[in-house]
């Protein structure tokens, strides 16, 4: 099976917008329609999910799965990301180009929409 380092966020274990996030190695079925990560067997929601693009066929949990960003800002909103031990060195060396961080196993993502939350808070306050 083909494998790749990906960003994986379980939206069902959080508030629907955020959840436990990891950088890890996934493998793909022959057709590429199913992704496997640890015990999860993920299939595409085909655009039907809210802030999720895959679901686990075994328990229905929804996930966001994407290629990891070179700047480490993979989450939509500020949150922590854990890096799986088996991909840590490769992640820092080949994806982030930051060899000096090769021993770092957790990062803090500012999030794609960090400014949005601040604006919403400001609007409510006024």
Mean pLDDT along residues 45-72: 89
- What are the DSSP E strand ranges found in 45-102? 54-56, 62-66, 79-83
- Under DSSP, the state recorded for 94 is I
Cα–Cα distance, 67 to 14 (Å, whole number): 21
Handedness of CA 106, 55, 57, 4 (dihedral sign): negative
Contact 1, 29 (CB under 8 A): yes
Q: What is the pLDDT of residues 25-56, one digit of tens each?
A: 999 999 888 999 999 999 999 876 678 899 99
Contact 64, 9 (CB under 8 A): yes
**pTM beyond 0.75:** yes
């Amino acid at each position: 099976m083909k494998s790749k380092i990906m960003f994986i966020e379980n939206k069902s274990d959080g508030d629907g917008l955020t959840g436990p996030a990891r950088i890890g190695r996934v493998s793909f079925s022959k057709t590429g329609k199913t992704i496997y990560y640890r015990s999860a067997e993920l299939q595409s929601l085909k655009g039907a999910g809210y802030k999720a693009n895959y679901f686990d066929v075994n328990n229905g949990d929804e996930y966001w799965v994407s290629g990891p960003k070179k700047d480490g800002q993979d989450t939509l909103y500020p949150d922590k990301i854990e890096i799986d031990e088996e991909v840590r060195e490769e992640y820092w060396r080949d994806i982030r180009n930051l060899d000096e961080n090769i021993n770092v196993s957790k990062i803090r993502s500012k999030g794609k929409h960090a400014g949005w939350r601040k604006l919403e808070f400001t609007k409510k306050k006024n």
